């Protein structure tokens, strides 16, 4: 076991009061070496704590008294202290196999750890799940969890995972649901493998065998230009439309038999098929919003509310995967840079930098955004040459492609606005800092959360 390092100490917290400092390594809490941040959180909920840390290579013991349940006030360097349960599947569609070398190391970790599913919304196949894991999840009520289903046909699922345990591991899904654990499912849709009739069967069996699933996201296979020796291919528009028809049919069946629509296709499917996204009611609380499901609808409805001057009907976006305060922020929880809107005061149109799918989604409402902002707006969709293939989402934009797009942009620009979901801190996936993009233009470059309200604030003059 490697010990977690303290990254932050909250001022005024019990941790600060006893002298815990950044760089201390946490060894034990009340004589117990926690295996993960979940166990840590349970231990530090006690009012009286005996902490063992290592500081500059020397052991240090500290005692703290606080209110029961009061946070200790630290953030740790990692969530799993013992050993991350890695994935032993070999899915042909896995995007990790399609990454080029040289990206940040954390992107290459293939995990299949239910703890990371609980903490960060990572999807697990349950092929390495055990009776002991089930007991802990049930005893500690570690939900929601996120499970990759892909197909309910045992042979198809085992073939997709390239793991014989894929044929039987959904028994754990049944066990989780039987014990009342909230679970969200996912189907990564691969044309000719688990689409069409297989998708139809999967939806049917989910309604019958797993009606307790809170939601099932249907997302298309993503393929980068770095994929080698791969037999899969991206969806064609007509194939996406056909699979959407299947999803919509089973939504109505599930609504009639289970009381919920359950099945929700990703925004990418609708954009690819050239179809309008469904109304907010179809997303039933936007349970998989951060999985790219319902983002476009939420954005459109936000514009409606801004135009009418009310947010009374704003749905609560419940799909935000949350984590324990002491856990390091990572993935969707990682901090993104947000440039103050006050910098975006230069004259000229505001240029919205986004991915190709983002451009498709924004084009129909651009004039409405202009009306709300009182400023001319221009779209600059950026082709993802770095990943290539069918990768077109804003969250996978890289600095090199953004730099090239802005360098080639010959239109007038008062400010460039780009989504902060493409950044971790102030750095893109390819380790290009935002400052390199800003150095290419005299106009301000602003990174913002991808909401209509934040966009309007950023382009305000």
Q: Range with the lowest mean pLDDT among 54-63, 321-330, 437-446?
A: 321-330
User: Among 26, 29, 31, 27, which Cα is nearest to 9's?
Assistant: 26
Q: Give me the pLDDT at residue 8, please.
A: 94
Q: Give me the pLDDT at residue 341, please.
A: 47
pLDDT, mean of residues 382-410: 95
Q: Give me the pLDDT at residue 100, please.
A: 87
Q: Give me the pLDDT at residue 89, please.
A: 95
Q: Give me the pLDDT at residue 29, please.
A: 97
Q: What is the C-alpha separation between 321 and 261, in angstroms, rounded?
A: 21
CATH of domain 95-308: 3.20.20
Q: Give me the pLDDT at residue 333, please.
A: 54
pLDDT at 39 over 60: yes
pLDDT, mean of residues 316-324: 67
Q: Give me the pLDDT at residue 50, please.
A: 97
Angle between helices 452-459 and 366-373 (to 10 degrees): 50
pLDDT at 331 over 80: no
Q: What is the pLDDT of residues 347-357, one digit of tens each?
A: 789 999 999 99
pLDDT, mean of residues 164-189: 97
3-state secondary structure of 155: helix
3-state secondary structure of 251: helix
Q: Give me the pLDDT at residue 344, please.
A: 45
pLDDT at 132 over 60: yes
DSSP-assigned letters across all residues of 40-78: HHHHHTSSEEEEEEEETTEEEEEEEE--TT----EEES-
CATH of domain 335-459: 3.40.50
Q: What is the C-alpha separation between 457 and 437, in angstroms, rounded?
A: 21
> Per-residue confidence at 230, pLDDT binned at 50, 70, 90?
confident
Task: Show the beta-strand stretches assigned E in 111-182.
Answer: 145-148
> Per-residue confidence at 424, pLDDT binned at 50, 70, 90?
confident
> Per-residue confidence at 340, pLDDT binned at 50, 70, 90?
low
> Per-residue confidence at 293, pLDDT binned at 50, 70, 90?
very high
Q: What is the pLDDT of residues 138-165, one digit of tens each?
A: 999 999 999 999 999 999 999 999 999 9
pLDDT, mean of residues 18-43: 96
Q: Give me the pLDDT at residue 319, please.
A: 63
Q: Give me the pLDDT at residue 316, please.
A: 66
**Average per-residue pLDDT in the chain?**
92
pLDDT, mean of residues 309-324: 67
Q: Which residue has the higher pLDDT, 321 or 289?
A: 289
Asked whether the beta carbons of 288 and 264 are under 8 A apart, the reply is yes
pLDDT at 342 over 50: no
> Per-residue confidence at 324, pLDDT binned at 50, 70, 90?
confident
Which uninterrupted H or E stretch holds 91? none
Q: What is the pLDDT of residues 386-398, one digit of tens each?
A: 999 999 999 999 9
Match domain 6-76 to its CATH number in 2.40.110.20, 1.10.287.70, 2.30.42.10, 3.20.20.70.
Answer: 2.30.42.10
Is beta strand 48-55 parallel, antiparallel or unpaired with respect to 58-65?
antiparallel
User: Among 24, 26, 46, 49, which Cα is nearest to 36's?
Assistant: 26
- Percent share of the chain, pLDDT over 90: 83
Q: Range with the lowest mean pLDDT among 101-110, 145-154, 280-289?
A: 101-110
Q: What is the pLDDT of residues 47-65, one digit of tens each?
A: 999 999 999 999 999 999 9
**Domain residue ranges in the chain:** 6-76, 95-308, 335-459
pLDDT, mean of residues 125-134: 97
């Amino acid at each position: 076991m490697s010990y977690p390092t303290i990254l932050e100490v909250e001022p005024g917290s019990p941790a600060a009061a006893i002298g815990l400092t950044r760089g201390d390594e946490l060894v034990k809490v009340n004589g117990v070496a926690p295996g993960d941040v979940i166990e840590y959180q349970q231990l530090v909920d006690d009012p009286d704590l005996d902490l063992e840390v290592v500081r500059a290579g020397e052991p240090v013991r500290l005692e703290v008294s606080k209110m029961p349940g009061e946070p200790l006030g630290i953030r740790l360097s990692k969530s799993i202290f013992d050993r991350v349960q890695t994935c032993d599947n070999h899915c042909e569609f896995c995007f990790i196999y399609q990454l080029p070398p040289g990206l940040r190391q954390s992107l290459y970790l293939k995990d299949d750890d239910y703890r990371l599913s609980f903490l960060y919304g990572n999807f697990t196949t349950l092929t390495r799940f055990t009776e002991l894991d089930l007991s802990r999840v049930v005893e500690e009520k570690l939900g929601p969890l996120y499970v990759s289903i892909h197909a309910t046909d045992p042979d198809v699922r085992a073939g997709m995972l390239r793991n014989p345990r894929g044929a039987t591991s959904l028994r754990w899904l049944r066990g989780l649901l039987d014990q009342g654990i909230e679970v969200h499912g996912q189907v990564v849709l691969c044309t000719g493998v688990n689409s069409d009739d297989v998708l139809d069967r999967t939806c049917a069996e989910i309604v019958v065998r797993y009606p307790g699933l809170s939601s099932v996201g249907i997302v298309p296979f993503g393929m980068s230009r770095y994929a080698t020796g791969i037999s899969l291919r991206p969806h064609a528009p007509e194939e996406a439309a056909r699979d959407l028809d299947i999803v919509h049919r089973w939504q109505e069946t599930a609504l009639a038999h289970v009381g919920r629509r359950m099945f929700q296709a990703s925004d990418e499917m609708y954009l690819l098929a050239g179809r309008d996204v469904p109304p907010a009611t179809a997303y039933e609380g936007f349970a998989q919003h951060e999985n790219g499901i319902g983002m476009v609808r939420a954005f459109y409805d936000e514009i409606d509310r801004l135009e009418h001057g009310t947010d009374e009907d704003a749905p609560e976006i419940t799909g935000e995967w949350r984590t324990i305060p002491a856990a390091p922020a990572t993935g969707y929880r990682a901090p993104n840079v947000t440039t103050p809107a006050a910098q975006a005061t230069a004259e000229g149109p505001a240029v919205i930098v986004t991915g190709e799918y983002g451009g498709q989604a924004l084009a129909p409402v651009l004039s409405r955004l202009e009306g709300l902002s009182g400023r001319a707006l221009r779209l600059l969709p950026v082709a993802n040459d770095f990943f290539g293939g069918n990768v077109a989402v804003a969250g996978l934009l890289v600095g090199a492609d953004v730099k090239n797009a802005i360098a080639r942009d010959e239109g007038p620009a008062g400010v460039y606005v780009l989504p902060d979901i493409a950044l971790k801190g102030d750095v893109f996936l390819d380790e290009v800092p935002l400052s390199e993009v800003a150095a290419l233009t005299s106009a301000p470059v602003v990174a913002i959360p991808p909401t209509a309200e934040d966009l309007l604030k950023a382009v305000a003059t």
